[in-house]
Amino acid sequence: MVMFTIPAGKADDGLKQTILSVYFHDHSSGSPDSTVRAVVGFPGKLWNLTQFGTLFVSDDPLTEGPDPESAPVGRGQGIFVTTSLDGVNTHVSLSIVFTNGAYNGSTIQVQGNSDQMKAVREYGVVSGTGKFRYASGYVTFENFSFNSSISYAVIRCNISIHHY
């Protein structure tokens, strides 16, 4: 076995810090315009957010503000699965894909496991592309508003990352 040691550079070795807030518009009603869908679960069980083993895909529009008519900035595309037997925790693997403005074509990769019932959920940023190459940091998701009659949620995503 060969081991290499590479001396660490200065903490500010060209790293930038970016702090952003974007808003996910999450439609989960099951209608044709839904942006979140259950795609698989255990046979004979109801596929929902609290059923262990249910896998969802999402493709949520992202905007600068909470109003769905505010400026679009990208998409939140990924998968999440209910991973705890009690239905509380989900594992998330998500790409924040920027499609507008200064970050057009760049992505931030989010991954982690957390209690989906908490008002604020935190996940790690594990990578990025484009303007966010080699990103690391964290994101928090917090429910901004929810309309249960049409299963529509607005979720604020606070992003804090370091990148080159």
Instruction: Using pLDDT thresholds of 50, 70 and 90, give the confidence band for residue 31.
Output: confident
Q: Is residue 10 part of a domain?
A: no
Residue type, 5: T
Report if residue 2 sits inside a domain. no
pLDDT tens for 122-142 read: 999 999 999 999 999 999 999
3, part of any domain: no
CATH code, 85: 2.40.480.10
Q: Residue 5: inside a domain, yes or no?
A: no
**Rounded-to-integer distance, Cα 86 and Cα 147, Å:** 25
- Residue 11 forms part of a structural domain: no
Give the residue numbers spanning the domain of 150: 17-163
Q: What is the mean pLDDT of the chain?
A: 91
Please check whether residue 97 lies inside any domain of the structure. yes
How many folded domains does the chain comprise?
1
The letter for the amino acid at 94 is L
- Mean pLDDT on 104-126: 96
